[in-house]
Structure formats: structure tokens, C-alpha cells
Amino acid sequence: MTHYDALVIGAGPAGIAAAIELSLAGWEVLLIDKAGFPRGKVCGGFVGPENKAILAEYGLLDALERRGAKYVTHLQISAANNISVRVPIYFNGRPDYGLGISRSAMDELLLAKALDIGVNFEGGITAQHMVHRGGHSTFTLVGRDGRAPAEASATHVIYANGGAVKGKSPASRLYGASCLFDSIGDSGADVIMHFLDQGHAGINRFEDGSVNVCYVIKDALFRRFKGDFDQVWRHMLGANRNLYRQMKNARPLTRWHGTFVDMDRPLRFFDGHAFYTGDASAVIHPVAGGGITLALSGGILLGSLLGRHHPEDVFRAAEAEAYAKAFRRRFAWPLRASRMIGAAGHTAPVANSVIRLLKWREAHLHQLFDIFHQPAVLQA
């Protein structure tokens, strides 16, 4: 049976960042993902400006730019009542820029970095029959490709398997879907959010020139259209004129792909046997455009905290506490604020008034940037 110092389940930004930090600390890490790579992910693909420092530290900023990541310099938002605002992307009190890139390209580059520094990776695999005993976890690695299942063990287990869970309460359940389109005319280097009752649509350009459209809707709207993505989309086009104008000549290049998001899941950092990071630990409302930041920051924080120790050390409760504390210090308020803004944005009369106010008081939008786009690296 192969033994690893750590098993990381899920190769999104959180799992990859945790695996990189542990591997840099000299740990033997197995990173697995149930999907084969490269894999897509329902996401707006807006990488906030605060992440550039992390990506540069990993030597990936140039690689992302060479891959064609788009500079995103402005945010446009519009309300169902036709009012719209356009502001520069702010970071650290100054105009800055984020990136527009598909998650298949970004996560593939992150994964290449992890492989480069010695992380072991298996795609198309899940860990089953997990048993925690005597300070070790044993499990069976089961592949989708018919390979014989293999027994393995690890001293530490990290769940970084994302937030795609159907929540129990319909009130807290969101549904996200994305689709690539060929073009939307000239919208500059902007990330765009169009609000309407019970949802919003985000538009962002990707590295190959395609336009990613990603919508997030409440469960009630999803059920009203019986989960039919195209019908939901037609409804959205009819509910926001700016969205309609922008998309009317655009042709879809792919089908819609969807996922559930449960906004009611409690924060989770450690369950006595395993650590949690990224969306598996805390889900920020997609309206904030900060999930990638939370994932990279959480993964780095957890990996660097654990990596300070010898892999066989028993230190989990104290580390879990330090991890949770540093995480809460940075993300408790953005998590709460994202829910408030998500709720306001998905209630048309409120969104109409708020966006009208923002048009005259742009400074409030800068304050929102300050909440969601703070420096990404966390100190324990």
C-alpha cells in the first residue's frame, strides 16, 4: 500500500494551492480529482486583481498572459430598470485590473506548477471507503477508466472538493450555469453583470476570444422553468434590456453547463480527521467574484500552516484553530457582505434602487471592491 503524507481531494485552485505549499515544505502529496484534466468548471472566470501577486509568486502570471488571459479593467453593472454603471476595477485604492480566463486553462496551469514541484496527481479518480484509525487514513482509489482499485493511506486528508452541493433549504439554494458565446460586440475590457429579479448574468471574455456567460439564479426561478437552461436564459434576456442588447446577435458555442450552490452550508475547517479548504470550507456568493481568491488564499494558508510541521506530527487541533482564525479574520466579513449583496441584487426593486444610487455615488462601488478584493495572501 502506498503511503502519502497528505491526500488532497479536489484539484481546483484551493486543492492545488494546498498541495503546492505542502510539497514545497517537503511533504509527499497525492492530489486527486474525480474529473480528468483539463476540466471545465461553471465559473465567471473573473480572476480578481489581488490574485496576481499569488500567480506571480508561482511564476504563472506570465504564463496566463501568454495563454491569452484578457485584462479586465472595468466593471459594468445594469439593473432590470435599464440603469447601468461602469467603473474601473479598484484594488488597494487605485484602478487596477483583473483577468478573464477559462477555468480549464487556469486550473491546468496551476496543476502544471504543482506537478513541476513534485505533487503526485491522479485525475478521473475518487477516494472511497475512507477509514481514519491510529493517526492515519486508509482509502481505496477508484478510477473511472476501469483500472483496478488501489489501496493507499495518508497521514493528513484535505477536502478541497468544491461547493457543488444541492442545499437542503430551497431558500438558500442557488443555481449557476455557464455557456460560451462567439462575440458580443464591443464591450471593452469589461466584466459585466446584469441583474434581474431572482438572479443575475455575468459576462467575461476568455483567452480564446470567446465570451463566457454565466448566470446565477435562485432555486424558485430554476424550478419555474423546470431546470431548462435555455428557457431560463430566454427569460433573463426578456427581463433586462441591457443584457438583451448585448447578447442579441451572439451565437452559443457550447451547451449550458450547470451546478447547484448551497449558500447555507456552515463554515467547515476541520472535522476531527480531515481539513477543508476553498468552497468545501466556505462558499462566497458568486456575485462577489471572489471565490477564486478565497480558494487560493485558503489553500495556501492551510498548506503553509501544516507544512511548518513534520508530516507525522500530531498537531491537528491547534493548527485547525490557527487556520480557522486567520481565515475568519480575512473572510468573515466578505462572506457575510456577499450574501447581503447577493440577496439585494436578486430582488429587482432593491437592485434597481441600489444601482441608481451607485450611478451617482461611484465611491460606494470602490468600497465594495475594498471588501471583496483585499490582498489575497493570509498570515496565520
Ligand X SMILES: Cc1cc2nc3c(=O)[nH]c(=O)nc-3n(C[C@H](O)[C@H](O)[C@H](O)COP(=O)(O)OP(=O)(O)OC[C@H]3O[C@@H](n4cnc5c(N)ncnc54)[C@H](O)[C@@H]3O)c2cc1C
Q: Which residues bind ligand X (CB under 6 A)?
A: 9-15, 32-35, 39, 41-46, 48, 126, 160-162, 176, 214, 216, 259, 261, 278-280, 286, 289-293, 295
Query: Across the strands, what pairs with 203?
Result: 192, 213
- The closest alpha carbon to 48, from 334, 352, 268, 362, belongs to 334
Please give the angle made by the CA atoms of 211, 214 and 216, to the nearest 5 degrees.
165
Nearest residue to 256 (alpha-carbon basis) of 285, 231, 225, 226: 231
CB of 256 to ligand X, least distance (A): 11
Q: How far is the CB of 281 from ligand X (least distance, A)?
A: 8
What minimum distance in Å lies between the beta carbon of 284 and ligand X?
A: 6
**How near is the Cβ of 9 to ligand X at its closest, in Å?**
5
Which residues, in sequence order, are CB contacts of 111 under 8 Å at separation 6+?
Answer: 11, 16, 37, 121
- Of 45 and 311, the one with the shorter C-beta distance to ligand X is 45
Nearer to ligand X (CB atom), residue 27 or residue 121: 121
Rounded Cα gap, residues 89 and 290, in angstroms: 13
Q: What is the DSSP letter of 221?
A: H
Least Å distance, CB 305 to ligand X, is 17
Q: Toward ligand X, which CB reaches closer, 173 or 316?
A: 173
Q: Given the complex with ligand X, which of 25 and 110 has the nearer CB atom?
A: 110
- The angle, 0 to 180 degrees and rounded to 10, between the axes of the packed helices 316-345 and 362-372 is 160
Other CB atoms within 10 Å distance of the CB of residue 10:
26
Closest to ligand X by CB, 73 or 353: 73
- What minimum distance in Å lies between the beta carbon of 269 and ligand X? 13
Q: Which is nearer to ligand X, 73 or 81 (CB)?
A: 73
